[in-house]
């Protein structure tokens, strides 16, 4: 998905979808700002504006765009992993995972940034992990 050329309407839709995902995964406003690599001086209440007032996330930061892409891909991988029980996705994100060395996926993403997101995404999406190794045709 090309995120840097969206209309304002598409930005607002994307913003609401991303905030909704992060809410479902149990993040508080402060952690949502951190997860998206938004400016440190941005007040946590700004997330409420993103959530309900139709204000789009800033789309001029490459780091934020990369994080959004990973978050959306992780959400899609969770939908395919738990197709009959969407609540399991949120539960999985908040429980220690043996294959992630006992770390909690959402904490790994939050504290390790892009690197943590890549690890969680690679665990959930074998195609993505395979592409990272460069062993595709």
120-134: pLDDT as tens digits: 999 999 777 676 666
pLDDT over 60 at 1, yes or no: no
pLDDT at position 78: 96
Query: Burial of 102 by CB count in 10 Å (0-12 exposed, 13-18 middle, 19+ buried)?
Result: exposed
Phi–psi pair at 28, nearest 5 degrees: -85, 165
Q: Residue 114: name the closest of 96, 132, 137 by CA.
A: 132
Res 102 pLDDT > 90? yes
Measured between alpha carbons, how far is 121 from 126 in angstroms, rounded to an integer? 8
The reported pTM is 0.90
pLDDT, average across residues 6-28: 94
Is it the case that residue 115 has pLDDT exceeding 80? Answer: yes
């Amino acid at each position: 998905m090309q995120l840097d050329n969206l209309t304002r309407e598409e930005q607002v839709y994307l913003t609401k979808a991303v905030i909704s995902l992060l809410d479902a995964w149990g993040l508080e406003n402060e952690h949502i700002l951190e997860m998206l690599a938004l400016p440190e001086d941005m007040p946590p209440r700004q997330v409420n504006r993103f959530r309900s007032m139709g204000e789009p996330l800033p789309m001029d930061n490459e780091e934020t765009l990369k994080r959004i892409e990973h978050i959306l891909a992780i959400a899609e991988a969770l939908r395919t992993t738990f197709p009959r029980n969407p609540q399991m996705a949120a539960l999985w994100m908040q429980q220690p995972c043996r294959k992630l060395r006992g770390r909690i996926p959402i904490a790994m993403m939050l504290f390790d940034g892009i690197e943590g997101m890549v690890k969680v995404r690679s665990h959930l999406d074998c195609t993505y992990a395979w592409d990272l190794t460069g062993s595709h045709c």
